[in-house]
Each structure stands twice: as C-alpha cells, then as structure tokens.
Amino acid sequence: MAKIINHNIPRRISSRHKIESLKSRVNIVAYIMQSMQLDDSSFEVQKTNGDDEYRCLCPFHDETEGSFSIYEENQQYYCYGCGTFGDVLDFVEARQPNVNNVNEAMAFLESTNALAAGAIVAVTPRTRSQLGPVRSEQIEAWHCQLIDRSWLYERLITDETIDQYQLGYWPQKKAITIPFWTGNIGASPVNVVQMRSLAPDTKRKYFGLTGFYGTAMYNQFLFNANSDYLVVLFGTFDALLALQDGIPAVSPNGANQYHADWTEPLQKFKRIYVVPDLGNESELKAAQLFADKVGKTARVRQFPDGNWGKDFSDWRLDGRSADDFMDFLLSSEHDGSF
C-alpha cells in the first residue's frame, strides 16, 4: 500500500517531555495575570488565605466577584463559577483565538516574548506525586454540575451510585468526570480524575486533567476487598456497573496500562479473572499480558459468543444478569482451566 503523506497535518512538536519542560519555565499565576493585563490594565490577581491560591475575575464567564482560582502549587486553574479548569497550555488554548491544540499552545507560548520577557517567574518542576490529591471542592463542584444524568442512566448507572462516587460534569469540555477513589468511596484522596467526553465529534473519548492522570486502576480500593476473586474489566463504566451489581471489578484506565505496584495486592486473591471485550484482538493481547504479570492465579476469560454485545455493560443492557456473568466466570474453575 502506498504511503499517504498529508502535508496539511501540522508537525507534531509536542512530546510529553517538551510539554513538561515548557511548563516548568512558566508560572501560571504570573502568566494569567500578564496576559489578562494586556487586555485590561486594571485586571487584578489576589492572593487568598490559602497557601498557594490566587483569585481573580474569571476570564471565561461574566462575573463581578472572583470565582477563578489559580493554584500555584499544582500550576492549575479552576473556576468555581463555570467549572473551567486546566494548566497554562489549556489557558492559552482557551483564550487565544488561533490556538486550537496543545502544539499550537506551546508554539504560542514560545513565540510571544512571554517566556523571555522576565514577567514569567520560573518555578521548580514538580512531579505528579508532589501535586497532592485533587481538591475535594473541585470534585464536588463538578458533581454539582452534573444536571443531565441520562447518559449514565442509559448505562444502568443509578442515582445512588452517581452520588456516592461523586460522578460529575465539566460543561466546557462536555465531559463526565470520574474520580478514582483510593480508599473509601467519596471520602478518600483522589489522585486521578478521568473524563469521558460526551461531545459527538470528539477525537478522544477518555482523557484526564493534566497533572492528575497516568496509569491508574479504577476501583483500586477493591485491592483490600474481602473476596476470593477479583474481576478485571477493560472499561471504567463496566467496572462501575459491575460493582454496583455486587461484583468486585476493577479497570485499568487503558488496555495496555499496568503498574508494577499492582502485582503484590493482586496476587493476594485466589483468582483474578481478566475479561477483555469480546472480539477485540488488541485488548485480548493486553489482557494476556496483564494476566502474565499477575502470575498463575490470573486467567483471561473471554465472554461467550453471541449477539448480545462486547462488554459487561452490553451484557447487562441485553437483559442478562450479573449472576449469569459470575456463573460463567466461576464455571472456568470446574473445566480445569484453573
């Protein structure tokens, strides 16, 4: 097959390293203040009583009292009025009319003399572990903005689950927000928030808040569950629905994600059932790799063939029960495969 070369595709300049390197040279507080003062010289950013929190009028919605917080420690902004949030590159992308993606945002920052002018104060680069957990106020604010729950209802997720897990909504990006609780649901620290875009034209269905994303296990608190077995599904909402049904189910946030820290807790279970989506070859391979890493107590189990769908949510939407799913998984113990 001939190689297709499209000269209209912008040159990809943004490796993760380049992004982090650029961001480490920009202090978001100084950047936002300086760029807003270009439009309005009276624009003020004020330090709050919080250790690292600054407040100003929101650049993204009309208001008279400042709801817009800038956190110097984690180099993020968040508006308690309209829910917009992000890092300095998100800010550039949202504010500059001709900037439409992270590459263009980086090019913009490099090209304005923002970096050279000295108005930008260098800050020490921080790793994600140094950021600390996502603020609980932020998770609550998203949760309060989840007005239309129909998308979740269509996936059989109940109000009780939505409220307990504090699922939320980020209006600006049209995305469901999914906190990854590390311990008690609704009360423990959250280091990762996954976003499920509901925008029909989205390129990425799942994404994360910059700085608060990486390899993570959804329902990881089940590592401490009092159960002989644990089920690994490849879908956040599949694992959520399964647990709502009483099945101890976790999900890595991506089929090819594995963290070495998971091995020891996973090996404490007598059985680990790794269940890839039906008919998904690459996920099947990822499931096998996952099981290999856990060791001999882990097995890949494929859903039965049929016209019902491909994953646990489809299984339930087809009118099948969680009990039938567990019967199917546990029956593998009798056929000698365990």
Cα–Cα distance measured from residue 207 to residue 18, given in angstroms and rounded to the nearest whole number: 19
User: What's the min distance (Å) between Cβ of 155 and Zn ion?
Assistant: 29
Q: Residues touching Zn ion: how many (CB under 5 A)?
A: 6
User: What's the min distance (Å) between Cβ of 58 and Zn ion?
Assistant: 3
Residue 175, C-beta contacts closer than 8 angstroms, at least 6 positions apart: 169, 195, 196, 197, 198, 199, 207
Which C-beta is closer to Zn ion: that of 81 or that of 265?
Answer: 81
Which C-beta is closer to Zn ion: that of 62 or that of 305?
Answer: 62
Nearest CA to 27 among 94, 77, 95?
77
User: What's the min distance (Å) between Cβ of 68 and Zn ion?
Assistant: 6
Report the side by side order of strands in the sheet with 68-71.
46-47, 53-56, 68-71, 76-79, 85-86
Stretch that binds Zn ion, among 81-89, 128-136, 183-191, 211-219 (CB under 5 A): 81-89
Tally the residues of the chain. 338
Among 22, 33, 82, 198, interactor with Zn ion by CB under 5 A: 82
User: What's the min distance (Å) between Cβ of 83 and Zn ion?
Assistant: 7
Nearest CA to 216 among 277, 265, 258, 161?
258
Cα–Cα distance measured from residue 238 to residue 111, given in angstroms and rounded to the nearest whole number: 44
Check residue 128 for interaction with Zn ion (CB under 5 A): no
Structure tokens at 303: 């859903």
Nearest CA to 247 among 145, 148, 139, 329?
329
Return the beta strands (E) in 14-103 as ranges. Answer: 46-47, 53-56, 68-71, 76-79, 85-86
User: What's the min distance (Å) between Cβ of 80 and Zn ion?
Assistant: 8
Cα–Cα distance measured from residue 321 to residue 239, given in angstroms and rounded to the nearest whole number: 15
Contacts of Zn ion in 41-80 (CB under 5 A): 58, 60-61, 79
Are the CB atoms for 74 and 128 separated by under 8 Å? Answer: no
User: What's the min distance (Å) between Cβ of 26 and Zn ion?
Assistant: 21
Among 81, 186, 265, 309, interactor with Zn ion by CB under 5 A: 81
User: What's the min distance (Å) between Cβ of 172 and Zn ion?
Assistant: 9
Which C-beta is closer to Zn ion: that of 58 or that of 192?
Answer: 58
Contacts of Zn ion in 223-242 (CB under 5 A): none
Which C-beta is closer to Zn ion: that of 61 or that of 95?
Answer: 61
Which C-beta is closer to Zn ion: that of 67 or that of 253?
Answer: 67
Which C-beta is closer to Zn ion: that of 61 or that of 128?
Answer: 61
Which C-beta is closer to Zn ion: that of 36 or that of 247?
Answer: 36
Are the CB atoms for 91 and 32 separated by under 8 Å? Answer: yes
Chain residues binding Zn ion by CB under 5 A are: 58, 60-61, 79, 81-82
